[in-house]
Chain A
Amino acid sequence: MADEAVFDKKKAHRAKLSGRKAEKKKKKNQVDQSNLSARQRNPKAFAIQSAVRAERQFRRREDVIAKKQHIPQVDKTPLDPPPIVVAIVGPPRVGKTTLINNLIKSFIKTNVTSTNGPITIVTSKKRRITLIECNNDINSMIDIAKCADLVLLLCDASFGFEMEIFEFLNICQVHGMPKIMGVLTHLDMIKNAKKLKMTKKTLKHRFWTEVYSGAKLFYLSGIIHGEYLRNEIKNLSRFISVMKFRPLSWRMTHAYMLADRLEDITNQENIRKDPKTSRDVVLYGYVRGVPLMKDSVVHIAGVGDMKISDLSYLPDPCPLPSSEKKRHLMERERQIYAPFSGVGGIVYDKDAVYIELKGSHSHKVEDEETNEKKALLKNVVETKETLDEQMQETGFKLFSGGAVIYPDMLKNDEYLQHSANNERTESSDESNSEAESDSDNDSGIDQSEKDSDAKLPWTNNSESEEENDDMDTEDKFTKNKSKTDADHSSSSDDDEEDFNIKWKEKLTEKATMAYFERQRTTKNIMKLVYNEFEIGNKTKEQEESGGESDAEEIGGIFKKVTITQKKKHKEKEQLDLDECSFFYSLDKPKLRDWLNEANKQLIINSFVTGKRSADEDAAELLKLDDASDGDDEMYGDFEDLETGEKHASDQKTDENKEEVGSKRKPESTKSEILNKKLRLKAKFDAEYDNPDDHRIKGDHSYYENLKAEALKQSELNKSVFESLDEGLRIEVEGFRPGLYVRMLFKNMPSEFVTNFDSSYPLLIGALNMAEQNIGFVSCKVKKHRWYKKILKTNDPLIISLGWRRFQTLPIYSKIEDDLKCRYLKYTPQHVTCNMHFYGPITPQNTGFLALQTVNNNSNEIKKLGFRVAATGSVNEINKSTQIMKKLKLVGTPLKIYKKTAFIKDMFTSTLEVAKFEGARVKTVSGIRGQIKKALNKPEGAFRATFEDKILMSDIVFCRTWFKVDVTRFYAPVVNLLLPIGNKNAWEGMKTKGQLKRERNIIHDANLDSMYTDIVRQPKVFKPLVIPKELQKGLPYKLKPKAKTTTLTKNRKPTILTNRIAVVKSPHEQNVSNVMKMLKTNFEKKMEVQKGMTSERIKKHKKQQEAEEWQKIKRQKELKKKICRHLSKMSNKKQKQM
């Protein structure tokens, strides 16, 4: 045993302690294995085994990546974004209002008594939301879908999804899908737990098919004391406050506003005189989407296109908390703003102003009250200022009951003050010189510049002389020179002291001169370009102010006359000049002699041969590089980067300092540091944290570049105007989203105010260039598969396209292969077709949906089921249309010659025929021909030639096209003007059928249109006769045979041959055999019977004959006997005689 054990014992492994393998192992163990990935530990296992497989893997991975890529879009959300619009949508009696109340309570911890219209609340440090409830009206649903960022789609779980929900989802899909969260309510109505589970599941899956699979669906399990469960609402509100949004293409190209406050500032006297007088209405709200330009045309959904008479921004009524360092919102910062509901701040009634004080607990902290007062005060003060700057002819009413303040009045006041100041502080000479030098100004700025100093946003800053350095080179720009500016600066300084105290506050002492300078030069060039323009728009004011100063200053009169004359003279000179786009006008300019040595120096460095600037010169750069390398080699890269950064950051902080003052400074530097850190980390990561370095990777540089470009653009968009002052910024950029603005509309219909109902959303959408025009829109359209009827051409249709809802008369058509639009009378059932209508010009690819009625009549809804009749998108816009209808003209032959025939009944006049000369015609049998010329005799008949002789029974067609015009009918749905309670009953043009039904008009059917049975007479052909001559030439096979004349004999065999042999199955054979035997039997029997019968009859006949014979014989004998007897008797008589 022991021996065996010895045998079994294997030699133990002895690890190499030296040599190649030992070295290798040592090296391997040196690296910490725990941190390595499998690939790094064992690279051989991951080596490419099969090239094909690797290729497939690579391709698949690339596919997956490519599928995830979206076209990068420029992120246009501003730094202070507008509140997010959260719309609560659902059928009636589903718990919308309760949900809103609960959400408000959960966010701001206050109860709101009544909710009406949009309610803006601050939910977190960086987010505000506007809650809005959608009422049960398809118009509202459409408008809400166009402006909502997030939709809470409520559904009564005990009932299931209703048609409204599907309709709403459809509307959303067409106009750009907002984020949608489903909310199931009334779950407590389902008592059975299992059923509840099933319901939830089915509803969830149905919801997923409609939105996207995995869409969030909330369950509100029940109501306790009229409220949903607190933690469920809390969860919902958490979801709302972290929701992220994708940009929607329509809203990324259009500015819009959801009005949350409305005021009627029409003169009360005018209203008293005529209650129907057109009103001046002011609407307030946050700008959303993209910046809103000042003089853009807008569409108010439910009212129509309007021009904004005046637009100005106001301080935010519901501002985000100032960016202090804290984690949570303070109680007092949880603000709410809902003027229509009468919550938050001020309620504007018809004749009073109410200020809500937020209940008793708000008085506890004194801060709050004062804060609020301050805010209110600030509100008023700032409003006035902005109005100063921006309003021109509009009235503004601080309190609805109070008098209207017109900006002209304000300005005049200012002007008076100003001129008074001038008189006091400056000598009249000075002011004269100022005006004079102004008049020299090249850009045509005249005396009123003094006023405009106060008005124009860019003249607020003081001016200094240093700017002239820049302008020296250009003679054109610097006609208004040092003296002017010096005078200016003094006067405008005065102005500042008088009016622009705010400005002073802003300009801290730390602001450096360089900044001023830049600002000022900027403004000067802008003044040069735009000042003239501004003055032109303010002509009215000028005249007024001019008049006043005339009254005050006599010396001024002379000046003014000369100035205006000068100006006029100049204008006249320029009026009819020859247009020239070159720097110098057409006549030969006096150019600088560039060969002159002094001049040469100016441009010698603009050539590659010249000296370069320090940062571009290769030699210099090399030197620098060497120097830095000398310092420390290792971190050369970093050093460079950092020094570059430092430089930039210094500049930036300087700027920041100037614009915001010292407050922001630490923060910005901090962010700078953070940025730097991040960048360094990214660089480090890029170098070291890439285990897949050695693997083959796809080239995604194109996509990455696009993304980087979009990112860069969005950063530029945000940063580029930050340093500008607010007035100028708005001029250049427009009213950026997030600003709270006030819009004045003049000449609004009075019904808009008198019938105002705040439960209807007031959506104001800006229209881009050319979108306010009306033309012919061509689009592709598909009837909705849930809509029960098909749509008929020229039936009025309500279309929701862009911001608008309007009724129009569409014509459906199909694009043929030759790109012709062929008229269709009805929409096809399951495919898209073309549609033309007369309506607002809208960019291509904009989606639209069509309804046949927006009426909320419950009977009609029940009848229709689903109200969205069709959906589609815009293809093309034009000012004319080309839709052709197929037309078939029918005629009959009048007289036929060989190949020529006279055709009648196709046309009614010679003129018509003349139009169709040369047109192609065709008979039913397919003989083609051409129209030649009209005949004299029957009016409208013509001569035509054919390729063969036609028959009198032929019908001749002429196929042609007929152009159909689109009716110019466009009527916006003005449901907001309808009386309250009737707003959902808008009815536009009716169809002919509708009218007939209403008036009970029944027409007799056209007999020609009735279907009748077609009776066809069998056609009798004459026998074919082949001429003898022809017969001779035929081969024997084809020659008519003599037999063929005896048709009847020949036919029989053919019939027989045509018969099909019947093969019977054995059973059938048996059956038929038996049947046959039976039949034979029966027949035999019958035969025998028949024979016997005939024999019997024969016998019977013989017998009867014999009997007859006997009878006759007997009668004969009897007759003989009688006769004999008679004759005997007569013989006797004779004898007696």
Chain B
Amino acid sequence: MPATIHNDVLIYKGSNLFRQRLLLSTLSGRAIKIEEIRSSHDDPGLKEYEVNLIRLLDKITNGSRVELSETGTSMYYQPGILIGGQVSHSCCTQRGIGAPPQGGGEIVFKCPVRRHLRPLQWATWGLVKRIRGVVYALRVSPTMANRVVEAAKGVMLKFLPDVYINTDQCRGPNAGKSPGFGISLIAETNEKTFYCAEAKSAEAGTGEISLPEDLGRECAMKLLDEIHRAGTVDSAFQWILALWMALGQKDVSECVVGPLSDYTIKFLQHLKEFFGVMFKLEVLRTEDDDDSSDDEEKVITAQKIKMTCVGIGYVNISKRTH
């Protein structure tokens, strides 16, 4: 849904893509208004985790203004200036960052401070040379972890001998509050591109049962899917790549990625609205297209898309100079 612009305020509808919109609004300094948030639902208005996100934004900025309507179905956000520094924030358990709902974990995120981003040219990703992974089992039997490893490894070894998956069992207070297990796999190529996939068990109490073997296999399949899509970044990071390209200096950035995810497409549209950046997207022909007629069996690799854009010359205005 494209935005309508009224008085230089971008007006959106619906709770979908809430994160993207707030993020871009904060970066661009443009005010947004989101209307009709779950207006027709039984439980209208913003969810707790969305309000939590707004709180986080309020912490990391100075001078932000947020207005919520009484029912919570519409909000107005006037972003302030990002100030940096150390922030600690307790996330909402309704929708955490990869953690099950009871919470109890801690994530330390560090980010270097830069004045501007350099243009990026990235067109090769090489071949997968090793696969690494971690299986975690919290408050469950440690055999679960081993079963997951076995399943995942079983799939991956059919493609590559260099597979190593760690297990990480925690007990007692270290294990947090939520029982469960999960796996994350990383494939590294010889050009330093990483593809990752993750899967986690069903939440306790939902009634579903997830078998460790199924989980390991599922994650391995997801990773293979990523490898099949290929590109210089995996599908979950396409949008970040697009953001960095768009915010770079006023030079041309060029990157090749696999097929665009829905989320990236939406993000590109938002980039156009917030920053006025339009990407040149072209479907890349692989070199062996000409040969493809000779050997039919190797044709169908996933579509590669070359993204090209001119950065807007975004400057980190909150860094103090002397």
Contact = CB atoms under 8 A, between A and B. Distances in A.
Interface string A599-618: 01111111111101111000
Nearest to A74: B251
A526 B280 contact: yes
Given A530-B269, A724-B280, A291 B228 contact: no
Contact of B283 (A521, A593, A713, A880): A521
Interface string A314-335: 0000000000000000000000
A609 B8 CA distance: 55
A769 B28 contact: yes
B204 interface: no
Interface string A285-308: 000001101111000000000010
A135 to B, nearest CB: 33
A1000 interface: no
Contact of A770 (B15, B251, B261, B317): B317
B142 interface: no
Interface size class of B (residues with CB under 8 A): 35 or more
Interface stretch (B16-24, B85-93, B100-108, B176-184): B16-24
A1008 B18 CA distance: 62
A718 B4 CA distance: 34
Contacts of A877: 81, 317-318
Interface in A1038-1077: none
B318 A878 contact: yes
B212 to A, nearest CB: 16
A608 B127 contact: yes
B96 interface: no
Nearest to A307: B8
Interface string B135-162: 0000000000000000000010011110
B230 A606 contact: yes
A575 B36 contact: yes
Contacts of B272: 530, 533
Given A571-B1, A575-B14, A595-B158, A293 B312 contact: yes
A716 B317 CA distance: 28
B315 interface: yes
A603 B16 contact: no
A12 interface: no
A583 B261 contact: yes
B259 interface: yes
B255 interface: no
Given A521-B282, A528-B265, A591-B221, A608 B160 contact: yes
A74 B127 CA distance: 32
Interface in A877-925: 877-880
A214 interface: no
Given A533-B269, A879-B63, A613 B228 contact: no
Nearest to B237: A581
A602 B301 contact: yes
B216 interface: no
A473 interface: yes
B245 to A, nearest CB: 12
Interface in B73-115: 80-81, 83, 115
Given A536-B2, A605-B298, A878 B14 contact: no
Given A295-B276, A575-B1, A579-B19, A591 B281 contact: no
Contacts of B226: 583
Contacts of A583: 225-226, 229, 235-236, 261-262
B281 A525 contact: yes
Interface string A515-529: 000100110111011
Nearest to B127: A608
Contacts of A582: 235-236, 261, 263
Contact of A613 (B224, B260, B288, B309): B288
Contacts of A518: 282-283, 285
Given A522-B280, A530-B269, A592-B225, A579 B18 contact: yes
A610 B128 CA distance: 10
Contacts of B288: 613-614
B280 A721 contact: yes
B310 interface: yes
A296 B313 CA distance: 13
Contact of A470 (B227, B250, B303, B319): B303
A472, A525, A536 pick with most chain B CB within 10 angstroms: A525
B62, B276, B310 pick with most chain A CB within 10 angstroms: B310
B250 A291 contact: yes
A231 interface: no
Given A471-B303, A529-B260, A591 B218 contact: yes
Interface string B253-282: 010000111110100110011011111111
Given A579-B18, A606-B227, A293 B276 contact: yes
A734 B310 contact: yes
B70 interface: no
A770 B78 CA distance: 12
Contacts of A879: 62-63, 80-81
A537 B29 contact: no
Contacts of A713: 119, 251-252
A472 B300 contact: yes
A1018 B158 CA distance: 104
A167 interface: no
A1097 interface: no
A773 interface: yes
B56 to A, nearest CB: 15
B228 A602 contact: yes
Interface stretch (A158-166, A343-351, A620-628, A839-847): A839-847
Interface string B280-304: 1111010110000000011011110
Contact of A600 (B4, B63, B158, B312): B158
Contact of A732 (B218, B279, B318): B279
A595 to B, nearest CB: 7
B57 interface: no
B13 interface: yes
Interface string A571-592: 1101111111111010010011
Contact of A606 (B37, B38, B127, B269): B127
A593 B221 contact: yes
A833 to B, nearest CB: 14
A738 B152 CA distance: 58
B314 interface: yes
B201 interface: no
B250 A574 contact: no
A803 to B, nearest CB: 15
Contacts of B314: 768-769
Contacts of A477: 259, 303
A529 B225 contact: no
Given A291-B250, A474-B303, A581-B239, A720 B308 contact: yes
29 contacts: A291-B310, A293-B277, A473-B303, A518-B285, A524-B283, A526-B279, A528-B265, A536-B3, A536-B4, A574-B1, A574-B16, A576-B15, A579-B16, A579-B18, A579-B20, A579-B263, A581-B236, A592-B225, A600-B158, A608-B129, A608-B190, A613-B288, A721-B280, A732-B310, A769-B27, A769-B312, A843-B317, A876-B320, A877-B317
Interface of B: 1-4, 8, 13-20, 27-29, 36-38, 40-41, 62-63, 80-81, 83, 115, 119, 121, 127-129, 155, 158-161, 190, 218, 221-222, 224-230, 235-236, 239, 249-252, 254, 259-263, 265, 268-269, 272-273, 275-283, 285, 287-288, 297-298, 300-303, 305, 308-310, 312-315, 317-322
Interface of A: 74, 76, 252-253, 290-291, 293-296, 307, 470-474, 476-477, 518, 521-522, 524-526, 528-530, 532-533, 535-537, 571-572, 574-583, 585, 588, 591-595, 600-610, 612-615, 713, 716-717, 720-721, 724, 728, 731-734, 768-770, 773, 775, 841, 843-845, 874-880
Given A293-B276, A728-B280, A732-B309, 13 more contacts: A293-B277, A521-B283, A530-B268, A575-B14, A576-B38, A579-B17, A579-B19, A594-B224, A604-B159, A606-B230, A607-B128, A713-B252, A734-B310
